[in-house]
Amino acid sequence: MFPKLDPLLHSELRLAVMSILAGVDEADFTYLKKQTGATSGNLSVQIDKLTAAGYITVEKGFKGKMPRTTCKMTPAGQEAFSNYVDALKEYLSAGK
């Protein structure tokens, strides 16, 4: 029996956002937008979904006079991401 893949992470853009956040302390909204190539609107929607699930936290503030939105992966997000990767590995090893 295969483990169920987390439906929240099983989406291209949300998975890309989580993959970036897995390797950094925190990332700016503009950085995430540049790295994923997503539109601001779509990225905002997906970030809201990840925030609602408790996988990431979003902090809005200012750097100098410019508004800044920073995203950070939570421990729950790290665990979900790690479980997702483990599940993928099981799928792939079963397919060999």
Partner 1 sequence: MTAQQSLRIISETFNKSRKDILSNSAKYFMLWGALLTVVSLVIYLLWHLSGKPEWNFLWFAMPVIGYPIAALMGKYNKAMPQNEVSKMLGSVWAVFGAFAITLSVIAIFLVPMRVSLIIVIIMGLAECMSGVLLKNWPIIIGGFILGVGGAVFAMLVKSEAQLLIFTLGGVLLLVTGFIMKLQYK
User: What residues make contact with partner 1 under the rule CB under 8 A?
Assistant: 5, 10-12, 15-16, 19-20, 22-28, 30-31, 34-36, 63, 66, 68, 84-85, 88, 91-92, 95
- Residue nearer to partner 1 on the CB measure, 37 or 41: 37
Q: How far is the CB of 88 from partner 1 (least distance, A)?
A: 5
Closer by beta carbon to partner 1, 54 or else 91: 91
Question: CA 65 to CA 93: how far, in whole Å?
Answer: 51
Nearest to 49 by CA among 87, 88, 80: 80
Give the closest residue to 3 by CA, choosing from 84, 61, 75. Answer: 84
